Amino acid sequence: MKVLVSDNISPKGIEIMKKAGLQVDVKTGLKPEELKEIIPEYHGLVIRSATKVTADVIEAATNLKVIGRAGSGLDNVDKEAATKKGIVVMNTPGGNTITTAEHAIALMFALARNIPQATASMKQGKWEKKKFMGVELFNKTLGVLGLGNIGSQVAKRAQGLQMNVIGYDPFLSDERAKELGVKKVDLDELFEKSDFITIHTPLTPETKNLINKDTIKKMKDGVRIINCARGGIVNEKDLYDAIVSGKVAGAALDVFEKEPPEDLTLIKLDQVICTPHLGASTREAQENVAIAVAEQIVDYLLQGTIRNAVNFPSIPAEQVPHLMPYIKLAEVMGSFTAQLYEGGITEVTLEFRGEAANIDTKPVTIAALKGLLEPILTETVNFVNAPFIAKERGIEVKETKSPDSGDYHNMLVMKLRANGKENKIYGTLIGKKEPRIIKVEDYPVEIIPEGTMLFIYNNDRPGVIGNIGTTLGKNNINIARMHFGRESAGGMAISVVSVDSDVSEEVLQEIRQLPNILSVKIIKL
């Protein structure tokens, strides 16, 4: 078995693979055409962030069985193409949790005491003691946006500094917040009370430009902002204006909308300190992920054991054709549910009805959890760690089975309990392989769960559909499909509109202001 290591990783990882009997070639800095030319001879590929594993590369990889990422991010891998070809894509989640949390704390210290600016001044031969007056962290309020693995580690460290820690996470239960010792608040309260704000959320349609001119207005005068999560969560132009005006005292940024940044206007401000995406860049973290990915590659190529796969659950090969359609259905139902409902999740129940009651339900339930947690967490969620993350966040997971599936041969029902309320969506497989969402709450509907969708609650009145179509049309947004459901004529209804392009916040606001529209959300699957 041959493994290609195409990015720089710790020698300890290479040593592990060689000791196991694998032939390992280290060839870094390959151009795309060079990688495509040599990839057919390899069974395994180990990468970091530099190598782009495109659909063309995967098509040429006639013997490739596994792609291992020494790290968590997989934006550089075409996972869909790999899945279609049966190539397992693995990563090493959790390897950078402590490292990123420590970096956020380090930036907060540096921001509070002007350490980079004072260092630069002294290196110019100056002694500007009065210029770099700082502030203490003791007894200040730290607002943590997102309390997943990294955010919770930041919270623990801030508590050790005797800061008052408050947190916003719409999917965090009250019980989990209590365990963390964090006061759970809504977004507006966090903005109003925080002296420092640190960001640890994923980049989603809901969090894109979360820190903008409007939300900054709600913040304390002199607030300081730290972002070690994802570029794009902070609107860089609005942050620049707020710093220049004095509203924001300073910012510490490790991530940017475009990396590396082309516009240096923001980072050239004296009040801004910045690092080139160093959140995971420590010797310990890089060594840990190299060892982890090497062990996973060895286990899979020599024993067939799948660990930390993002596109395959751990199931016997002979069951894959039968189970994969259910796994796909459960995953999209989970993702759909996560994007539709908000609140601290305390319980998830999967009901398997009809033919679905006869399958191996465990990997399907795990797929539902993966779909549910992935849109709301900064850490990587996969088929291996999804149950652990659910347990860690205080989410109880249940399964039930029933032979009765009504008018359908098979049915999955996903029940989500959050903030004391139970929400339900229903799904089925058409032709035993095509996933459909067939009911949301009490609204019968048939939704093809793919692409970008607008999920709209509206009053069932004449003109609603026409108004939505007209608004999208005048904004040059093409409608792919429209699905509708209602409780009764003239009552409440839902409209699900699949579109061919992204919908801006301005267009969403336009739709929200139409007659009889009650709410609008974007769902991406």
Span 147-172, average pLDDT: 93
pTM of the model: 0.67
Question: According to the model, what pLDDT value does residue 384 have?
Answer: 67
Q: Using CA atoms, how far apart are residues 294 and 3, in angstroms rounded to an integer? A: 10
Residue pLDDT, tens place only, 369-427: 999 998 877 666 777 678 878 888 888 999 999 988 888 889 999 999 887 788 899 99
Q: Kindly state the DSSP code that residue 13 receives in the 8-state scheme.
A: H
Question: According to the model, what pLDDT value does residue 326 have?
Answer: 93
Question: According to the model, what pLDDT value does residue 379 have?
Answer: 63
The three-state secondary structure class of 87 is coil
Specify whether 512 is catalytic.
no
Q: What architecture is domain 97-274?
A: 3-Layer(aba) Sandwich (3.40)
How distant is the alpha carbon of residue 152 from its chain centre?
Answer: 16
Stated as kind and residue range, the H or E segment containing 117 is helix 115-123
Residue pLDDT, tens place only, 222-281: 999 999 998 999 999 999 999 999 999 999 999 999 989 999 999 999 999 999 999 988
Q: What Cα–Cα distance (Å) separates residue 305 from each residue in 88, 242, 387?
A: 11, 52, 18
Residue with tokens 């359609």: 325
Question: According to the model, what pLDDT value does residue 242 have?
Answer: 98
Q: Using CA atoms, how far apart are residues 491 and 460, in angstroms rounded to an integer? A: 5
Q: Using CA atoms, how far apart are residues 191 and 216, in angstroms rounded to an integer? A: 8
**CA distance between the termini of the chain:** 36
Residue with tokens 């009809």: 354
Q: Using CA atoms, how far apart are residues 373 and 169, in angstroms rounded to an integer? A: 13
Question: According to the model, what pLDDT value does residue 224 have?
Answer: 98
Q: Kindly state the DSSP code that residue 309 receives in the 8-state scheme.
A: B
pLDDT at 512 > cutoff 80: yes
| CATH fold for domain 451-525 | Alpha-Beta Plaits (3.30.70)
437 in Cβ contact with 340 (< 8 Å): no
Span 209-221, average pLDDT: 97
pLDDT at 479 > cutoff 70: yes
15, 192, 206, 277: the catalytic one is 277
Q: Using CA atoms, how far apart are residues 225 and 325, in angstroms rounded to an integer? A: 44
Higher pLDDT, 330 or 307: 330
| Of residues 396, 391, 399, the one with CA closest to residue 365 | 399
Residue pLDDT, tens place only, 21-47: 999 999 999 999 999 999 999 999 999
Same fold, 1-93+280-312 and 97-274: yes
E-strand spans in 103-235?
Answer: 141-145, 164-168, 183-184, 196-199, 223-227
Specify whether 230 is catalytic.
yes
Residues sharing a CB contact under 8 Å with residue 27, sequence separation 6 or more, in sequence order:
4, 5, 6, 38
Q: What Cα–Cα distance (Å) separates residue 219 from each residue in 231, 252, 270?
A: 20, 17, 21
Could you tell me the pLDDT band of residue 316, with boundaries at 50, 70 and 90? low
Could you tell me the two tokens for 232?
Answer: 């794009």
In one-letter notation, the amino acid at residue 31 is K
Q: Using CA atoms, how far apart are residues 378 and 303, in angstroms rounded to an integer? A: 31
Residues sharing a CB contact under 8 Å with residue 444, sequence separation 6 or more, in sequence order:
438, 485
What is the dotted CATH code of the domain comprising 313-441? 3.30.1330.90
47 in Cβ contact with 68 (< 8 Å): yes
| Other C-beta atoms lying within 10 Å of the C-beta of residue 129 | 9
34, 128, 175, 259: the catalytic one is 259
Could you tell me the two tokens for 181?
Answer: 């010792």
Specify whether 43 is catalytic.
no
Residues sharing a CB contact under 8 Å with residue 523, sequence separation 6 or more, in sequence order:
335, 336, 339, 340, 452, 453, 454, 455
239 in Cβ contact with 212 (< 8 Å): no
How distant is the alpha carbon of residue 113 from its chain centre?
Answer: 32
Higher pLDDT, 54 or 345: 54
172 in Cβ contact with 344 (< 8 Å): yes
Residue pLDDT, tens place only, 289-312: 999 999 999 999 998 778 888 887
498 in Cβ contact with 453 (< 8 Å): yes
- Strand 196-199 and strand 2-5: the pairing is unpaired
43, 48, 176, 230: the catalytic one is 230
Q: What Cα–Cα distance (Å) separates residue 103 from each residue in 245, 282, 468?
A: 27, 10, 45
HSE of 522, CA atoms in CB hemisphere, 13 A: 21
Helices (H) and strands (E) in the chain, counts: 17, 22
Domain ranges of the chain: 1-93+280-312, 97-274, 313-441, 451-525
| Cα maximum dimension of the chain | 81
Q: Using CA atoms, how far apart are residues 300 and 64, in angstroms rounded to an integer? A: 12
Please provide residue 182's backbone torsions phi and psi, each rounded to the nearest 5 degrees: -110, 135
Average confidence score pLDDT of the chain: 92
CATH superfamily of 1-93+280-312: NAD(P)-binding Rossmann-like Domain (3.40.50.720)
Could you tell me the two tokens for 213?
Answer: 């001119």
